[in-house]
């Protein structure tokens, strides 16, 4: 017999809760619903009483958003699947933080994928602390104030983009090098950093496998091919089509 995972639904719209409840009861018998809440305050009380393993959390709620619930915990004690209407800003933040979300109206195949991932994390006792810290920092700041969360042993460190020298692609991972010559490995692609940081940043892609911080260039060559030397002595070749953009960023 398959082990059940316990869950609660948090959404201010009763109809939305009813739709999701019906999907879970009809197609996902492995999910045991412990209760529902329509606000952050109700949800906080329900979580503390029922201690669910999984929370389906609506983002857009009156007075306080679903994100506000997560800030109430020093360490979030459950897996989270966000449920949202189309909100590109919130979706980009959730995706960058490697967390799961469902778009309303919820489709069974998307719900299946999100539940499968949550079950795996619960079984392996994998915590989403890093992802949630990154998400909460992102949604609470504008693009200029965004930071990048990385693991340092058992801790989470937030890096300001201004502290980064360059980011190099390494297969399914990226390696971040800072001004202090610290190196951090993260399971992000370069395109994820581009989407997350937007255009208002000194970090710029110079070719398919590297981003550099234009404000930390030590020297550059004027001819072709163009080479740049970073503050730590690392040298990169710039794709020809990127040269003008990088020189423009250096002037900012």
Q: Per-residue pLDDT tens for 26-72?
A: 999 999 999 999 998 999 999 999 999 999 999 877 777 788 888 88
Which residue ranges make up each domain of the chain? 5-138, 141-250
| Pair 20, 83: CB distance under 8 Å | yes
So what's the pLDDT on residue 10?
Answer: 95
What pTM, to 2 d.p., does this model score?
0.61
The single-letter DSSP state of residue 160 is P
The pLDDT assigned to 24 comes to: 95
Residue 179 CA to residue 195 CA, distance in Å, equals 23
pLDDT score, position 74: 75
| 148-152 and 155-159 strand pairing | antiparallel
141-250: what CATH class? mainly beta
Residue 90 has pLDDT above 80, yes or no: no
Between CA 235 and CA 86 the distance in angstroms is 42
Q: Token digits for 109?
A: 């195949």
For residues 39 and 20, is the Cβ–Cβ distance under 8 A?
no
Contact 97, 132 (CB under 8 A): yes
Q: What's the sign of the alpha-carbon dihedral 71, 141, 206, 91?
A: positive
The CATH number given to 5-138 is 3.40.50.2300
| Per-residue pLDDT at 1 exceeds 60 | no
Q: What is the dihedral angle through the alpha carbons of 72, 74, 80, 82, rounded to the nearest 10 degrees?
A: 40
> Highest-confidence range of 73-82, 176-185, 213-222, 240-249, by mean pLDDT?
176-185
Listed residue (156, 92, 96) closest to 129, CA to CA = 156
Distance CA 89, CA 64 (A): 17
Quick one: how far is CA 234 from the chain centroid? 29
pLDDT range class, residue 137, cuts 50, 70, 90? low
Q: Kindly give the pairing relationship between strand 5-10 and strand 54-58.
A: parallel
Mean pLDDT score of the chain? 84
Burial of 161 (0-12, 13-18, 19+ CB in 10 A): buried
The predicted-structure confidence for 169-212, as pLDDT tens digits, reads as follows 998 899 999 999 999 998 888 988 887 787 767 888 998 899 99
């Amino acid at each position: 017999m398959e082990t059940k995972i316990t869950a609660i639904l948090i959404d201010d719209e009763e109809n939305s809760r009813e739709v999701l409840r019906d999907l879970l009861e009809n197609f996902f018998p492995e999910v045991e619903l412990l209760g529902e809440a329509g606000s952050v305050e109700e949800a906080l009380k329900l979580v503390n009483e029922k201690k669910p393993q999984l929370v389906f959390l609506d983002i857009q709620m009156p007075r306080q958003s679903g994100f506000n619930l997560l800030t109430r915990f020093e360490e979030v004690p459950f897996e989270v699947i966000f449920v949202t209407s189309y909100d590109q800003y919130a979706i980009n933040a959730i995706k960058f933080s490697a967390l799961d979300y469902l778009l309303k109206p919820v489709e069974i195949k998307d719900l299946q994928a999100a539940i499968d991932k949550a079950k795996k994390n619960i079984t392996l006792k994998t915590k989403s602390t890093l992802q949630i810290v990154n998400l909460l920092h992102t949604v609470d700041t504008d693009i200029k104030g965004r930071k990048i969360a990385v693991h340092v042993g058992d801790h989470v460190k937030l890096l300001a983009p201004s502290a980064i020298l360059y980011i190099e692609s390494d297969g399914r991972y990226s390696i971040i090098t800072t001004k202090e010559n610290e190196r951090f490995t993260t399971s992000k692609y370069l395109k994820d950093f581009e989407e997350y940081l937007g255009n208002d940043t000194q970090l710029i892609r110079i070719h398919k496998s590297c981003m550099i911080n234009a404000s930390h260039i030590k020297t550059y060559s004027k001819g072709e091919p163009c080479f740049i030397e970073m503050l730590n002595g690392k040298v990169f070749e710039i794709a020809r089509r990127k040269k003008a953009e990088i020189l423009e960023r250096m002037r900012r």
